[in-house]
Amino acid sequence: MIVVCPSCSARFQYPDARFQGALSKRFRCPKCAAFFEVMNPALPEPQPAAPEAPPDGPKPTETTNRKEKDIQMAAAGRGPGALPKGLRYSLAFLTGPQASTVRALDSAVTVIGREEGDVVIHDPEISRKHARIEIHSDGSAWIADMGSTNGTETNGRNITEPTELLDRQEFTCGRSTFMLLIRPVDSMAQD
């Protein structure tokens, strides 16, 4: 396989067999000395765990305000909060101005935008505040469009409500395509 450094775009060959069954390998670029993670291409994608049924309780009414909904979601383990322990969340930039780079998500809520947000992309097709990724306490990740001009797309369709993102699922904002990566922290093997 060809490994590409996300920092300097240096390319080098790495035999697939050297993964030795590991989910991923951690590399140090021979050119710029940056560290980065590469997933094992020989392993099948992990299947997502079946979602837990929400506990029985009062259902929110149309008049329930956002704060009350957030409290109810957090109590059910379905709202954003602290990042779940033992999991690492990253965004891989597949196309657009930052293609071939990976950025770790260090907050339960990440806003993607052209001028404002946690991940700023200089793509003219991305709105000032384009999309929001929320990582819930149960480990699930959700994406929501923030009223952007060109919309947010996943699975070939524009999303109109919060949509769950699975590991290695791609989504598009403007002309930029991203992939969400969810990995156990202990799977970071050094070569």
Percent of the chain with pLDDT over 90: 47
CA distance 80 to 57: 20
Residue position matching structure tokens 């791609």: 170
φ, ψ for residue 136 (rounded to 5)? -90, 160
CA distance 123 to 149: 13
Question: Tens digit of pLDDT for each residue in 152-173?
Answer: 999 989 999 999 999 999 999 9
Question: Tens digit of pLDDT for each residue in 22-55?
Answer: 888 888 888 888 888 888 877 765 555 656 655 5
Confidence of residue 190 (pLDDT cuts 50, 70, 90): very low
Contact indicator for 34, 7 with CB cutoff of 8 Å: yes
Mean pLDDT of the chain: 82
Per-residue pLDDT for 101 more than 90? yes
Confidence of residue 12 (pLDDT cuts 50, 70, 90): confident
Per-residue pLDDT for 58 more than 60? no
pTM comes to 0.57
Question: Tens digit of pLDDT for each residue in 122-134?
Answer: 999 999 999 999 9
Question: Tens digit of pLDDT for each residue in 131-153?
Answer: 999 999 889 999 999 999 999 99
The more confidently predicted of residues 177 and 81 is 177
